[in-house]
């Protein structure tokens, strides 16, 4: 500075500062790129697990739907036959449609991946906004449907089955006790109520978004995973 080289000194100092800043920016950029790469790898793993879970959930739901629809048709036929004037003449049909009419089934999807993502906050790693929203809403959509199944299941477990155990014969369907049982007003009322709840399940399947959510989550997770 005493020899008049102040300008050169400041230029050198500024150059040093610029180099340090550039170095810091490069380091931050590399770190951000590395973190982004890690997030992408984790997202791919998440989507793979989601696709596997919900593909299985969708297939299970299709099977459950088939059983419920079949049970409703059989229950309506069963109702017709138990009101037949000659029960002995239609006894085989009564036996056949009894099993099908009261063939209970429950939808029990795998929710481990979704629950873990929501609890940990890792669902935010999913870049697709639509898929994230489906996952956040999944529990509520599922519970709305499950409620319909639970009502039907409770009717069987708390009313119909105990009544048959007390007044009928599960071992021998051709037993006179069963023919007497199915002619009672109580059993006919229970059958009517069973049909009503099956119709509610059918309506829930057709009108509510559960199956749509299943298909969309499968589709979106697969597309991101390709």
Residue 1 is predicted with a pLDDT of 47
d(CA 223, CA 220): 5
Query: How far is 79 from 162, CA to CA, in rounded Å?
Result: 19
The pLDDT value recorded for residue 224 is 46
Q: Tokens for 75?
A: 């229950």
Q: List C-alpha distances in Å: 191 to 33, 125, 155.
A: 64, 50, 10
Angstrom distance (rounded) from CA 94 to CA 72:
15
Q: Phi-psi category of 128—alpha, beta or left, where left has phi over 0 and alpha has psi -120 to 50?
A: beta
Integer Cα distance of 105 and 74 in angstroms: 14
> What tens digit of pLDDT does each residue of 59-112 get?
999 999 999 999 999 999 999 999 988 888 888 888 889 888 988 889 999 999
pTM: 0.80
Mapped to the 3 state alphabet, what secondary structure does 41-96 carry?
HHHHHHHHHHHHHHHHHHHHHHHHHHHHHHHHHHHHHHHHHHCCCCHHHHHHHHHH
pLDDT of residue 14: 73
Per-residue pLDDT of the chain (226 residues; tens, 9 = 90+): 455 566 666 666 776 777 777 777 776 776 666 666 776 889 999 999 999 999 999 999 999 999 999 999 999 999 999 998 888 888 888 888 988 898 888 999 999 999 999 999 888 899 999 999 999 999 999 999 999 999 999 999 999 999 989 998 878 777 888 888 988 999 999 999 999 999 999 999 999 899 999 999 999 998 544 5
pLDDT on residue 225? 42
**Tokens linked to 224:** 């991101």
pLDDT of residue 9: 64
Whether 153 contacts 67, CB under 8 Å:
no
3-state helix, strand, coil in the chain (%, to 5): 85, 0, 15
């Amino acid at each position: 500075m005493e020899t008049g080289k102040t300008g050169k000194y400041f230029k050198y100092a500024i150059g040093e500062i610029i180099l340090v800043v550039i170095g810091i920016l490069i380091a931050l950029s590399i770190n951000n790129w590395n973190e982004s790469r890690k997030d992408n790898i984790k997202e791919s793993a998440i989507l793979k697990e989601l696709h596997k879970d919900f593909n299985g959930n969708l297939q299970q739901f299709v099977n459950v739907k088939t059983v419920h629809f079949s049970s409703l048709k059989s229950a309506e036929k069963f109702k017709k036959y138990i009101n037949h004037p000659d029960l002995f003449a239609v006894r085989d049909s009564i036996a056949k449609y009894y099993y099908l009419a009261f063939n209970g089934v429950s939808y029990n999807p795998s929710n481990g991946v979704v629950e873990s993502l929501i609890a940990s906050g890792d669902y935010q790693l999913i870049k697709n906004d639509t898929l994230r929203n489906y996952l956040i809403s999944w529990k509520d959509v599922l519970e709305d449907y499950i409620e319909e199944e639970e009502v039907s299941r409770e009717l069987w477990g708390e009313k119909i089955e105990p009544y048959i155990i007390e007044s009928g014969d599960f071992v021998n369907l051709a037993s006179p006790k069963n023919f007497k049982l199915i002619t009672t007003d109580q059993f006919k009322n229970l059958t009517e109520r069973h049909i009503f709840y099956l119709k509610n399940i059918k309506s829930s399947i057709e009108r509510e978004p559960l199956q749509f959510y299943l298909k969309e989550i499968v589709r979106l997770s697969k597309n991101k995973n390709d």
